[in-house]
Amino acid sequence: MKIRSVRPNNRKRSFEVETARERYAFPYVRSEPSPTAQDAVVSVEIDPELGREAFSYALASGRSGLVHIEQVLEYNQDPVYMRNLLLYRLTVEVQQRIDQSPLAKREIIRRLGTSPAQLYRLLDQTNYRKSVDQMLRLLQVLDCEVELVVRPRSA
């Protein structure tokens, strides 16, 4: 996701990051080094070398920092980002379970009722077009029990 603009907001003590889809706030305290009243932000630039997916900032003391868009999306609990993160974690778990499983890949493909190409697409952790349902079905074929745990966020 590309960053269109970013600016510091000293009153709210956060960076305001705008993308094509939405505007996000990212608090100073989540960045390293953290800007303070005594060490204020003097400049902010979108980093073209990182494909406009990060921004750098400089403080009055001369220190500088970098914030990637993924940090901003994770802090703001962006639904699309959180879905992709869940798919990534499920895919890595499936890869590990397949390596440990006594089942041959042909047997897994047969039980899923799919093609080898589709199985390899499911095992690709960079493929976010798959669904959580498909990953849960694959874990079921691998004799795994999946529990969904909902708990309050820790402070």
Cβ contacts of residue 124 below 8 Å, gap of 6+? 91
Cβ contacts of residue 143 below 8 Å, gap of 6+? 101
Unique residue bearing structure tokens 């849960």 = 136
Give pLDDT, residue 148. Answer: 84
Both tokens assigned to 151:
């708990």
Give pLDDT, residue 153. Answer: 78
- The domain ranges of the chain are 3-75, 79-141
pLDDT band at 146 (very low <50, low <70, confident <90, very high): confident
- Neighbouring CB atoms inside 10 A of 136's CB total 15
73 vs 17: CA distance, rounded Å = 10
Q: Quick check: 69 pLDDT over 80?
A: yes
pLDDT band at 155 (very low <50, low <70, confident <90, very high): low
Tens-digit pLDDT profile for residues 83-123: 999 999 999 999 999 999 999 999 999 999 999 999 999 99
